[in-house]
Chains A and B, each alone.
Chain A
Amino acid sequence: MISLADQLLVLVLLINFILLGTSRLIFSIRAVAVQGVILGILPGLIHPFSWHLVGITVVIITVKGFVIPLLLVRAVRSAEIKREVEPFLGYVPTLLLGAVFTALSFGFAGRLPMLPEHQNFMFVPASIATMMTGFLVLTTRRKAISQVIGYLVLENGIFIFGLLLAEAMPIMVEVGALLDLLVGTFVMGIVINQISREFSSLDTSRLTSLKEE
Chain B
Amino acid sequence: MAQELFAPSSLIFSATLLAALSGVPLLFPWLLNASRAQLLSIVLMLAASCAGLTGAILSIFSGVSVLFELAWTLPFGSARFGVDPLSAWFLLLIFLIPGSAALYARSYWHADSRRSNVRKMTFFCGLMTAGMSSVVLARDGISFLFAWELMALAAYFLVSTEDENPEVKEAGTLYMITTHTGTLALFALFPLLNLLAGSWLFPATGSLSASSPLASAIFFLALFGFGMKAGIMPLHIWLPSAHANAPSHVSAVMSGVILKVGVYGLIRTLSFFHGIPLWWGCCVLVLGVISGVVGVAFAIGQHDLKRLLAYHSIENIGIIFMGLGVALIGQTAGSPAMMLLGMSGALLHVLNHAIFKALLFLGAGSVIHATGTREIDLMGGVARRLPYTALLFGVGSVAICGLPPLNGFVSELLIYLGFFQGIQGEGGAAAAAALAAPALALVGGLAVACFVKVYGIVFLGAPRTESHTAKHEAGWQMLLPMLLLAVLCIAIGLAPGLVAGHLQRTSLTVLPLLANTAGLPLQELVPMTMITLSGVLLLALIAVFTFWYWRKLKLAPCGKADTWGCGYQRPAPRMQYSASSFAEMLTSLFAFVLKPQNHRPDKIAGIFPGRSSFYSHVPEAVLELVYIPLLKRMYQRLSGIRRLQGGILQQYVLYSLVTLIVLLLASYL
Contact = CB atoms under 8 A, between A and B. Distances in A.
A141 B653 CA distance: 11
A70 to B, nearest CB: 25
B643 to A, nearest CB: 11
Interface stretch (A17-25, A77-85, A178-186, A205-213): A205-213
15 contacts: A105-B664, A108-B664, A108-B667, A132-B657, A132-B660, A135-B656, A139-B657, A140-B650, A147-B649, A204-B648, A205-B648, A208-B647, A208-B648, A209-B647, A211-B647
Choose among A88, A135, A140 the residue with the greatest number of B CB atoms under 10 Å from its CB. A135
A107 to B, nearest CB: 8
A204 B667 contact: no
A197 interface: no
B43 to A, nearest CB: 39
Contact of A204 (B645, B650, B660): B650
Interface string B622-664: 0000000000000000000000011111110110110011001
Contacts of B667: 108, 111
Interface in A125-182: 128, 131-132, 135-136, 138-142, 147, 150
A139 B653 CA distance: 6
Given A105-B664, A138-B650, A139-B657, 5 more contacts: A108-B664, A111-B668, A138-B653, A204-B649, A211-B647
A96 interface: no
Nearest to A109: B664
Contacts of A209: 647
A58 interface: no
Nearest to A210: B647
A69 B646 CA distance: 31
A54 interface: no
A213 B650 CA distance: 19
Interface of B: 645-651, 653-654, 656-657, 660-661, 664, 667-668
A68 B350 CA distance: 59
Looking at B646, B648, B667, the one whose CB has the most chain A CB atoms below 10 A away is B648
B647 A88 contact: no
A104 B657 CA distance: 14
Given A108-B667, A111-B667, A135 B660 contact: yes
Contact of A208 (B646, B661, B668): B646
Which interface residue of A101, A139, A210, A211 has the most chain B CB atoms within 10 A? A139
**Highest count of chain B CB atoms <10 Å: which of A111, A131, A138:** A138
A207 B648 contact: yes
In the complex, the 5 A-B pairs of residues with the closest C-beta atoms, listed nearest first: A211-B647, A208-B647, A135-B657, A138-B653, A139-B654
B650 A139 contact: yes
Contacts of A205: 648-650
Nearest to A151: B653
Contacts of A101: 661
A150 B667 CA distance: 26
B365 to A, nearest CB: 37
A88 B657 contact: no
A147 B646 CA distance: 18
Nearest to B663: A108
A210 B652 CA distance: 15
A154 to B, nearest CB: 9
B177 to A, nearest CB: 15
B175 to A, nearest CB: 20
Contacts, number: 48
A104 B648 contact: no
B664 A104 contact: yes
Interface string A54-96: 0000000000000000000000000000000000100000000
Contacts of A108: 664, 667
A135 B659 CA distance: 11
Contacts of A135: 653, 656-657, 660
Contacts of B650: 88, 138-142, 204-205
A181 B611 CA distance: 70
A177 B526 CA distance: 65
Contacts of B656: 135
Contacts of B657: 132, 135-136, 138-139
A204 B650 CA distance: 8
Contacts of B646: 208, 211
Contacts of A139: 650-651, 653-654, 657
A88 B651 CA distance: 10
B648 to A, nearest CB: 6
Contacts of B649: 147, 204-205, 207
Contacts of A136: 657
Contacts of B648: 204-205, 207-208
B233 to A, nearest CB: 32
Contacts of A128: 664
Nearest to A111: B667
A126 to B, nearest CB: 15
A138 B648 CA distance: 11
Nearest to A104: B664
B644 to A, nearest CB: 12
Nearest to A142: B650
A152 to B, nearest CB: 14
B651 to A, nearest CB: 8
A25 to B, nearest CB: 17
Contacts of B645: 211
A39 B660 CA distance: 24
Interface string A30-73: 00000000000000000000000000000000000000000000
B650, B660, B664: most-surrounded residue (chain A CB, <10 A): B650
Contacts of B661: 101, 104
Interface in A102-119: 104-105, 108, 111
A136 B650 CA distance: 9
A77 B667 CA distance: 45
Contacts of A111: 667-668
Contacts of B654: 139
Interface in A184-213: 204-205, 207-211
Nearest to B656: A135
B664 A207 contact: no
B669 to A, nearest CB: 11
A183 to B, nearest CB: 16
A141 B646 CA distance: 16
Contacts of B651: 139
A101 to B, nearest CB: 8
Contacts of A150: 653
A104 to B, nearest CB: 7
Contacts of B647: 207-211
A177 B99 CA distance: 44
Contacts of A204: 648-650
Nearest to B649: A204
Nearest to A191: B649
A205 B649 CA distance: 7
Nearest to B653: A138
A205 B654 CA distance: 14
A198 to B, nearest CB: 14
